Amino acid sequence: MKVRTLEQTDLEPASALLFQVFDRVAKKHNYQPPWPGESDVSGLLGRYRRDEPACVVVAEEGGAVIGVGAARVRGEVASIGPIAAYVDGRGIGGAIVDELLLRVENAGAVASRLYVDAWNPSAYALYAGRGFAVFDVVMHIERAPGPAPSLDSARGLEVRPFETRDLEQLRRFDQRLTGHDRGPDLADTVRLVARRRGDIVGYLGAQHSAGSTKLGPAVAVDASDLATLMAGTLTAEQSGQSARAAGLSRDEPQVARLSTAAPVVSMAALGLGFRVRELGVVMSRGAPPPARPPQLYSIDPEVL
């Protein structure tokens, strides 16, 4: 078995393997697969390869792709995953993880993070055996289309659509709270910026994909501010009008990965009509995160 960089000719078999493995394992545990179809996985791997070609790898044996994995480096922090092997128990997944850790550390990462579904104990054991430890429990939440009750918690919060001039201050704010240096990601995904007395105190990103809106990344200093940003995508209040101006709609399903570090936001999300689809954990190895702010973790790209 050999682990090497994914090439263009590997994209089709690697995407098929990744989709089939996650589809099979999720359905085995009666959960919804993370991607609607194989084309979604191909697009994901294609973007990861375009942006960071050295951080997308395959395991090969006898000329066949038997495993695949990816990572993203944002400053001194790397996010690992997704990872899949065609069969368990042969060390394929471990070999891919070890190679990715070597590559991201050579690229300057001093910490690595990853997301694990709570119903996947074999994946948990794989990462725990390499020094990863849980630092956050995540609720994977979803909401059907439609309006929601407003939250009266703005307290002087000014919410408006993201503008290019916000980016540098936003990048510094995000790095201070999460440890990531991810300016390009923020430029692509942030839709709303929250300020109080002129200072950025939160933001919300979102992307449209497969008929739904993926909320995240989103970070705030105060839990009630994050709840206000989430409510703003659903209501007709000031933040809701800003959400509409930013291209967000309450007329399609919404999904998100919500940190449980701030119980107030979890309660607010349930009050807004979100339901918990499943639980997961974020694990970390190396330098610890600077904080656990109220946040929605990014789903695509998966930066934790």
The CATH superfamily holding the domain 2-109 is Gcn5-related N-acetyltransferase (GNAT) (3.40.630.30)
- In whole angstroms, give the CA distance from residue 153 to residue 128: 39
Domain with CATH 3.40.630.30 in the chain: 2-109, 141-297
Rounded mean pLDDT of 216-221?
97
Residue 26: strand, helix, or coil: helix
Which pLDDT belongs to residue 236? 46
For residue 151, pLDDT beyond 90 = no
Look at the alpha carbons of 53, 57, 58, 60 in this order and tell me if their dihedral is positive or negative. Answer: positive
The DSSP call for residue 74 is E
Structure confidence at residue 220 as a pLDDT band (50, 70, 90): very high
Which CATH architecture describes the domain 141-297?
3-Layer(aba) Sandwich (3.40)
- In whole angstroms, give the CA distance from residue 215 to residue 45: 20
Rounded mean pLDDT of 99-113?
97
Structure confidence at residue 31 as a pLDDT band (50, 70, 90): confident
Query: What are the DSSP E strand ranges found in 62-198?
Result: 64-74, 77-85, 111-117, 133-143, 158-161, 190-196
Which pLDDT belongs to residue 252? 85
